[in-house]
């Protein structure tokens, strides 16, 4: 069967389908011609015994089987549809990764993740850092956070919402920024219990899967122990950049975490 390889979140996905799907613009950057390893094999199989489609995932997240009747093959004609029909959150968690609803910026300080409720200004702050610090916006909606051998890293992903940023790049996480709109700008550390609660609200997980929730909680606790979590009370202008930049510089001088 034809096979397409994708690199997403530091994992190599091999997709096997009866015919090769087209690469949508947001997924094309993640297509790789060759992959030395296969972390996740996704097998798409026409199966007339199932009236719709079904998905099974191995316990280690390394094998995914999608069964569907032939008349639904149009759903898998493009890579977007192929990825929509697999439980990506479950697969990522099996590999110590998760989606964080955030704008991900590669800055002079390292990877910054701006997160918070919808409409709080994640994209605005990311664009301010791009305009005023030479930073690069990697993803504007759903970055992948991963526990790696060398520490915690953030990855761009094909899931970019309306931001238009779907860059295949990863960075060590320098800080996670919880945003709040305010009249004045101030960046400070967030108490652990509050940070834990607010981060969980911005992470995709199937709450019906108890084991996944417990695994996610362990990962978030480990992330918080290694990466600074700040609250940035901010305005939508360069003053917010200056406030956060001053805090990051001060921590660098004092040795950080």
pLDDT of 151 reads 93
- Given a cut of 70, whether residue 163 has pLDDT beyond it is yes
- Enumerate residues 6+ apart whose C-beta is below 8 A from 207: 213
What percentage of residues in the chain have a pLDDT greater than 90?
86
Mean per-residue pLDDT over the chain, rounded: 93
- With a CB cutoff of 8 Å and minimum separation 6, the contacts of 107 are 129, 133, 135, 174
Q: φ and ψ at 160, to 5 degrees? A: -115, 5
Q: Is the pLDDT of residue 216 over 60?
A: yes
pLDDT greater than 90 at residue 35 = no
pLDDT band at 40 (very low <50, low <70, confident <90, very high): very high
pTM (two decimals) = 0.94
CB of 63 within 8 A of CB of 43? yes
Tell me what the mean pLDDT of segment 139-164 comes to. Answer: 93
Residue 34 has pLDDT above 90, yes or no: no
Q: Is the pLDDT of residue 29 over 90?
A: yes
């Amino acid at each position: 069967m034809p096979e397409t390889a994708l690199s997403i979140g530091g994992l190599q996905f091999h997709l096997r389908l009866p015919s090769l799907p087209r690469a949508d613009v947001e997924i094309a950057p993640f297509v790789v011609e060759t992959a030395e390893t296969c972390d996740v094999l996704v097998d798409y199989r026409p199966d007339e015994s199932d009236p719709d489609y079904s998905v099974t995932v191995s316990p280690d997240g390394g094998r995914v089987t999608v069964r569907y009747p032939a008349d639904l093959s149009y759903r898998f004609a493009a890579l977007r549809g192929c990825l929509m029909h697999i439980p990506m959150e479950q697969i990522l968690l099996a590999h110590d990764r998760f989606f964080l609803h955030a704008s991900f910026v590669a800055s002079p300080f390292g990877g910054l993740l701006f997160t918070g409720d919808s409409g709080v200004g994640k994209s605005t702050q990311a664009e301010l850092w791009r305009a005023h610090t030479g930073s690069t916006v990697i993803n504007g909606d759903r970055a992948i956070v991963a526990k790696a051998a060398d520490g915690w890293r953030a990855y761009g992903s094909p899931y970019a919402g309306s931001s238009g940023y779907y860059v295949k790049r990863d960075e060590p996480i320098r800080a996670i920024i919880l945003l709040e709109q305010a009249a004045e700008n101030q960046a400070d550390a967030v108490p652990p219990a509050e940070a834990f609660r607010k981060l969980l609200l911005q992470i995709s997980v199937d709450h019906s899967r108890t084991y996944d929730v417990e695994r996610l909680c362990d990962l978030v606790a480990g992330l918080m122990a290694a990466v600074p979590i700040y609250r940035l009370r901010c305005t939508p202008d360069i003053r917010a950049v200056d406030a956060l930049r001053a805090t990051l510089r001060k921590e660098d001088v004092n040795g950080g975490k």
